[in-house]
């Protein structure tokens, strides 16, 4: 999906304390020429005001960033063979 969008550059910030984040960094870098950084707390780095478009679901990040996109929704919308299940709220109260 990101290849199709054609951004000038992509930077991934991964949470360093999370297990296997280093392994994920190596895997991402092996498939695309993207910058991947391991940081102690990505929320403090992502969304700092500037001209970058942010992809995050964290409201703290979204509240302080300029432009943002819903990357998960875009990936699902463009995916082949993706199952989307609409969840509707049932009746309120005890059954």
β-pairing, 35-39 vs 11-15, is parallel
- Cα 58 to Cα 68, 79, 85, 95: the distances in Å are 11, 23, 23, 34
Q: Where are the domains of the chain?
A: 2-77
Identify the pLDDT of residue 92.
62
Q: Which residues of the chain have pLDDT under 50?
A: 95
In a 3-state reduction of DSSP, which class is residue 35?
strand
> Is this structure's pTM higher than 0.75?
no
Identify the pLDDT of residue 8.
86
Asked whether the beta carbons of 24 and 14 are under 8 A apart, the reply is yes
């Amino acid at each position: 999906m990101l290849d199709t969008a054609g951004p000038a550059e992509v930077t991934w910030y991964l949470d360093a304390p999370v297990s296997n984040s280093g392994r994920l960094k190596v895997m991402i870098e092996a498939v695309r020429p993207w910058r991947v950084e391991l940081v102690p707390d990505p929320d403090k780095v992502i969304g700092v005001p500037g001209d970058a478009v942010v992809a995050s679901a964290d409201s703290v990040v979204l509240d302080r960033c300029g432009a943002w996109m819903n990357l998960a929704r875009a990936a699902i919308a463009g995916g082949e063979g993706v199952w989307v299940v609409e969840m509707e709220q049932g009746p309120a109260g005890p059954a």
